[in-house]
Amino acid sequence: MKRMGILGPKGTHSEAAAVYLNNIITEPMELVIYPEIYEVLSAVENGRINTGFVPVENSLEGSVNITLDTLARSDNLIVTRELIWPVHNQLMAKPEVKIADLKQIFSHSQPISQCRNYLLKHCPTAAVCNVSSTAKAAEIVANSEVNEGLAAICTKRAGELNGLVTLAKEIQDNKYNSTRFFEIHSRGEEITDGSLKNKVLIICQIRGERAGALCEVLEEFAFRNVNMTRIESRPARTKLGEYIFFFDLDTDAAPGMLEESIEAVKKKSIWLKDLGTFPVIIATID
């Protein structure tokens, strides 16, 4: 059985999304948990696992820089699948605890930020504490005494793994909050997937010191009616003021136009890498 590296621990949104993906693909894989995103990607690059599954962007909090930066630096990693995962945050505690009893609420910094309005309205006197993950928050609450009045903002799976019950469902302030995940392979490994590939990811460094350089690159896509769904810049790590750019492009352009636009951009870039053509899956969960 092939092995997929994921960001742990069990009970996080990353693990829940990986379990979902594993249940819908034709060849399920053994899930191998790593404590850091970089360790997942390093294990893929070094051949210790077949594929990695890591977050790349949250719709509220923005990009996951370590994922982008590692893809930019590596010549061996490509994206083979994208999963859009709806974020559902639950307020969970021991069965005997009520919302009115809460004295401390634990979670990762991102869910805390995503649930700020709910917390101010419904738990104004409870202290909010940052921990390393939503799964860790559920573990802390599970190991507490009822009279301590602890709760966790976490996934339903994390709460259930730790014997917690739901005090309030869907407490995120934005009901459309979601996270994009990439499945990542090493170049050269055979990928057997018949899914429709509807996105291309490229990365390039342009001559930013020249006025209009980025505009000229964007015009290559617009001129050929290639739809760009996302652009992201990151420091080039060469000197101050130099940047690299990630472009997400739809594959439904007229025949030959996508390839032609990428080749034109390559000629206007210091360097360009194709990071893969892949399907996008939108998860549907209760």
Tokens (6 digits) for 79 = 């994206």
Query: 106 and 162: one domain?
Result: yes
Cβ 255 vs Cβ 86: under 8 Å: no
Tokens (6 digits) for 14 = 């990353």
pLDDT, tens digit, for every residue of 232-252?
Answer: 998 887 777 678 999 999 999
pLDDT of 192 > 80? The answer is no
pTM of the model: 0.85
Query: 148 and 218: one domain?
Result: no
Query: 192 and 160: one domain?
Result: no
| Phi, psi (degrees; rounded to nearest 5) at 44 | -65, -50
DSSP class of 116 = H
Q: Please give the Cα distance from 31 to 51 (Å, whole number).
A: 10
Q: At what angle do helices 257-267 and 213-223 cross, to 10 degrees?
A: 160
Burial class (CB in 10 A: 0-12, 13-18, 19+), 172: buried
Cβ 159 vs Cβ 152: under 8 Å: yes
Q: How many domains would you assign to the chain?
A: 2
More confident residue, 207 or 204: 204
* Buried/exposed code over 125-156 (b: 16+ C-beta within 10 A; e: otherwise): ebebeebebbbbbbbbbbebeeeebbbbbbbb
Cβ 131 vs Cβ 106: under 8 Å: yes
Which of 119, 141, 168 delimits the end of a domain?
168
Q: At what angle do helices 37-45 and 65-73 cross, to 10 degrees?
A: 20
Query: 199 and 257: one domain?
Result: yes
Give the CATH number, domain containing residue 204: 3.40.190.10
Domain that holds residue 232: 3-86+178-282
Q: Please give the Cα distance from 251 to 49 (Å, whole number).
A: 29
> Which range among 52-66, 142-156, 204-218 has the greatest average pLDDT?
142-156
Query: 127 and 265: one domain?
Result: no
**Which pLDDT band holds residue 183 (cuts at 50, 70, 90)?**
very high
Q: Please give the Cα distance from 180 to 169 (Å, whole number).
A: 22
Query: 182 and 164: one domain?
Result: no
Mean pLDDT value of segment 93-121: 92
